[in-house]
Amino acid sequence: MRVLGIDPGSETTGWGVVEGTGRHYRAVEYGAIRSAPGQKFSARLLQISSGIEEIIARHQPQACALEDGFLATNVKVTLKLGQVRGVAMLAAERAALEIHEYSPRRVKQTVVGYGNAEKRQVQEMVRLLLSLECVPEPHDAADALAVAICHFHHAGLIQRIMAAEAGIKLTASAAVRRRASR
């Protein structure tokens, strides 16, 4: 499976593509979509959308893992972050990717083992987990890789739950068929 991790930001949107199965994975490529200082916000959104669409076309991921929004102290920042997340989700949806959202706390808990971990701790764990020679730069790209790693750890659980639910439905429908045939 190939996962595109995204750390949305209105000035810098980090992205990382991770490939693997279960808890065995590797970084394919990572980077950031940067906006020019003073660029209109609508132009930034277009640049982010185009950038994500290009990454999806180049790497063909099956899923998109996106860092969920958080409440910033500045309402305008929170609203802009929501708009960037919306653009990223739209690009992923257009490509028919599975979309999964993870809170920053869940990502830190999964990658570092501590939900209040500092950025440098997350970056170092990403480096170790992906066997990279150095910490991914910029930090937005490291965060995006962390979101993708988080998805790998939780995707197996999601699949097991869905399989269990499907099994319950199958068992229930078989029981109904048996009763109906009597």
Predicted local distance difference test score (pLDDT) of residue 147? 97
Give the percent of the chain with pLDDT over 90.
Answer: 67
* Res 63 pLDDT > 80: yes
Q: What number is the average pLDDT over the span 112-139?
A: 92
Name the residue among 109, 114, 118, 95 with its Cα closest to residue 49.
95
Q: Is 143 a catalytic residue?
A: no
Q: Is 124 a catalytic residue?
A: no
For residue 95, report the phi and psi dihedrals to the nearest 5 degrees: -90, 5
Domain residue ranges in the chain: 2-155
* 8 Å CB contact between 18 and 5: yes
Predicted local distance difference test score (pLDDT) of residue 100? 96
State the catalytic residue, choosing from 11, 68, 133, 140.
140
| CATH T-level fold of 2-155 | Nucleotidyltransferase; domain 5 (3.30.420)
C-alpha 151/C-alpha 62 separation (Å) is: 12
State the catalytic residue, choosing from 7, 124, 143, 165.
7
Predicted local distance difference test score (pLDDT) of residue 116? 84
State the catalytic residue, choosing from 19, 53, 54, 67.
67
* 8 Å CB contact between 99 and 61: no
Q: Is 68 a catalytic residue?
A: no
* Res 174 pLDDT > 70: no
Placement of tokens 């808890």 in the chain? 23
pTM, full prediction: 0.84
- Give residue 71's pLDDT band: very low, low, confident or very high (50, 70, 90): low
Three-state SS at 69? coil
For β-strands 12-21 and 24-34, DSSP reports them as antiparallel
C-alpha 121/C-alpha 60 separation (Å) is: 30
